Amino acid sequence: MAHLPNHLREQIEQHLGTAITRITPVGGGDINQAARLETGGDVFFLKWHAAPPRGMFAAEADGLRRIAATQTVRVPHVIAQGDTWLLLEWLPIGRRTAAAAKRLGEALAALHRHTAAHYGLEHDNYIGLTPQINHPETDWVRFWREHRLRPQMRLAAERGRMPAHRRRALERLIARLDEWLPRTPPASLLHGDLWGGNWVALEDGTPALIDPAVYHGDRETDIAFTHLFGGFPAAFYDAYTAAWPLPPDADARRDLYNLYHLLNHLNLFGEAYGASVDHILARYVGG
């Protein structure tokens, strides 16, 4: 676990207007370093990166504020940010229970009812360390094709992870997206990176979301990603469905939406995710 650099400590103390009295390293995931900071009477969560992509923490702070503004689901309050760090409210984490998962399903459905006139966002942000293009569109198929799948395909080609057979299959799938995706689903406010590690339950049982990659799009994308790596019990899906059922053919699109995340994992972590990408491509367009 990396030591908190002195210059970073000084910046944060200047923002807080008080001295940090204790620093306790905590898990920061695959990308960032993280620590619990204590002052005279307050506790904070700090994440930092030695050389983050430009605007990464500003984009995350913006996403947290957007979700918080809906007053639908708990997220950590943004305290301050810098180019290389983000200071958040410390959330007292408890045990994830079926009751907390039920409340999360209800809250996510409420979040998704906050819609916009366009798909995307006013600015780009990041999915992990990968730039996420959010150029606004009024056609969801075009958005998914041009701003989700194609950028990941180009990045994979640059990194030598797009062999000819994979590229050909992905091009065929992209050309046929309108056979499976709706043109104008509600442009819901999405968490955008909703895998099982990005929801927690607080000590009082309140569910909370962390690490968003927000944009407006088909709400099925958030639900699809919850299935990819697990971590969401039946109570979550039952509550979401009771609040706002998905279309009956949503399962047929799930892998098309998860393909984006699998391509991103291929680009971030390597060929270990290649077989999963190829499996989805084979399902829809053959080998």
* Active-site hit among 62, 193, 218, 255: 193
What percent of the chain shows pLDDT beyond 90?
95
Cα three-residue angle 154-155-160, rounded to 5 degrees = 100
Q: What is the pLDDT of residues 256-272, one digit of tens each?
A: 999 999 999 999 999 99
pLDDT over threshold 90, residue 2: no
Q: What is the pTM of this model?
A: 0.96
Cβ proximity of 47 and 32 under 8 Å: yes
Half-sphere exposure of 272 (CA within 13 A, CB side): 4
Separation of CA 38 from chain center:
28
What does pLDDT average to over the chain?
A: 96
Q: What is the pLDDT of residues 146-204, one digit of tens each?
A: 999 999 999 999 999 999 999 999 999 999 999 999 999 999 999 999 999 999 999 99
193 part of the active site: yes
pLDDT over threshold 60, residue 280: yes
**Domains by residue range for the chain, with CATH:** 6-89 (3.30.200.20), 98-285 (3.90.1200.10)
Average pLDDT over residues 101-115: 99
Joined together, the tokens standing for residue 274 give 């290649």
| Amino acid, res. 34 | A
- Rounded to whole angstroms, how far apart are CA atoms 255 and 253? 6
Q: What is the pLDDT of residues 50-75, one digit of tens each?
A: 999 999 999 999 999 999 999 999 99
First to last CA, the chain: 43
- pLDDT at position 266 is 98
